[in-house]
């Protein structure tokens, strides 16, 4: 099937129901690099069941619809899909176990031209199936690099990205990733072969499998929880950012942070590539 924006905007997604346990929370935290120092008791709280805490970034895998861009009826050149942006609104702390549900919908498609691709925005509201309480709202933007030039509106109605201050950051946090980081992270549900298969990665124009954008996002969240919240994940209220370049497993991610009280600006670099990998970051905390 060819790429058809009207079809995608009207496509019905199944409601995803997911039960998860403390073990799933621990696996997610290990997948984004928590527990690298097993003697650091602040990090241990995220990878050990005694007094377990949940990283706010785990919300992105809750009731996840899977790699839907690969489904044949989507008409998307899935090998060339990249995660472009993410926003999360937190309605309550994430429980350490439970059953949740959500239904994805595509809300916007913008044509950025044949050389850039199509921006596709989707959202889903994650709810506790028993209490019906909303846990979080997730707004995801992907760039379908092989599907631009279809003649659609080139402008996006999504808000303009936040801009980091034009001064040196107030704080910096460097966190390493493991060479096998993507292979661990994918066990939390994102099985896009771009992050595991060297052949698929090369066909997409990369020298090797790249780290999931949402794994980089998790490493960044660790840096923010550590630096801005004293390892209290419940202080997160809203977060948004743009992915600007991929990270290769084994690289060190530097998070640069600008503090403006409860409003925090941030961006991330790969030290090995000397390149910005996450930009226009905004975090609201209480």
Of 260, 263, 266, 259, the closest CA to residue 280 belongs to 266
Give the integer Cα–Cα distance in Å for 70 and 60.
Answer: 18
The H-or-E segment that residue 105 falls in is strand 105-111
Give the integer Cα–Cα distance in Å for 278 and 254.
Answer: 10
Of 117, 73, 95, the closest CA to residue 18 belongs to 95
Active site residue 263: no
What is residue 62's DSSP assignment?
A: T
Selecting among 64, 83, 195, 212, the annotated active-site residue is 195
> Cα 264 vs. chain centroid, distance in angstroms?
18
> Cα 59 vs. chain centroid, distance in angstroms?
9
Q: Is the dihedral of CA 61, 65, 71, 73 positive or negative?
A: negative
- Count the neighbouring beta carbons within 10 Å of the beta carbon of residue 49: 12
CB-CB contact of 3 with 75 (8 Å): yes
Helix, strand, coil abundance in the chain, percent, nearest 5? 25, 35, 40
Selecting among 64, 190, 212, 222, the annotated active-site residue is 190
Task: Tell me phi and psi for residue 154, to 5 degrees.
Answer: -85, -10
Active site residue 153: no
- Count the neighbouring beta carbons within 10 Å of the beta carbon of residue 248: 19
Of 134, 66, 59, the closest CA to residue 104 belongs to 66
CB-CB contact of 156 with 83 (8 Å): no
Give the active site residues: 190, 195
């Amino acid at each position: 099937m060819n790429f058809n924006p009207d079809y995608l905007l009207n496509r019905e997604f199944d409601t995803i129901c997911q039960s998860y346990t403390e073990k799933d929370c621990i696996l997610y935290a290990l997948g984004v690099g928590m527990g690298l120092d097993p003697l650091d008791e602040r990090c241990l709280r995220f990878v050990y069941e005694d007094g377990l805490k949940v990283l706010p970034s785990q919300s992105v895998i809750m009731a996840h619809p899977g790699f839907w861009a690969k489904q044949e009826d989507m008409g998307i050149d899935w090998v060339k899909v990249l995660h472009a942006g993410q926003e999360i609104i937190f309605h309550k702390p994430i429980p350490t176990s439970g059953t949740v549900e959500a239904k994805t919908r595509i809300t916007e498609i913008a044509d950025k031209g044949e050389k850039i691709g199509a921006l596709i925005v989707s959202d889903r509201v994650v709810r506790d199936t028993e209490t019906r309480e909303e846990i979080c709202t997730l707004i995801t933007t992907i760039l379908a690099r092989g599907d631009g030039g279809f003649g659609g509106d080139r402008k996006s109605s999504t808000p303009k990205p936040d801009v980091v201050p034009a001064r040196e950051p107030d704080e910096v946090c460097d966190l390493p990733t493991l060479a096998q980081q993507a292979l661990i992270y994918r066990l939390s549900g994102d099985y896009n072969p771009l992050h595991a298969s060297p052949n698929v990665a090369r066909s997409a124009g990369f020298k090797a499998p790249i780290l999931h954008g949402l794994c980089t996002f998790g490493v960044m969240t660790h840096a923010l929880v550590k630096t801005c919240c004293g390892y209290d994940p419940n202080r997160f209220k809203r977060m948004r950012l743009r992915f600007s370049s991929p990270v290769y497993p084994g690289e060190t991610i530097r998070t640069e942070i600008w503090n403006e009280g409860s409003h925090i600006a941030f961006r991330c670099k790969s030290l090995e590539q000397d390149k910005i990998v996450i930009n226009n970051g905004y975090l609201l905390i209480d």
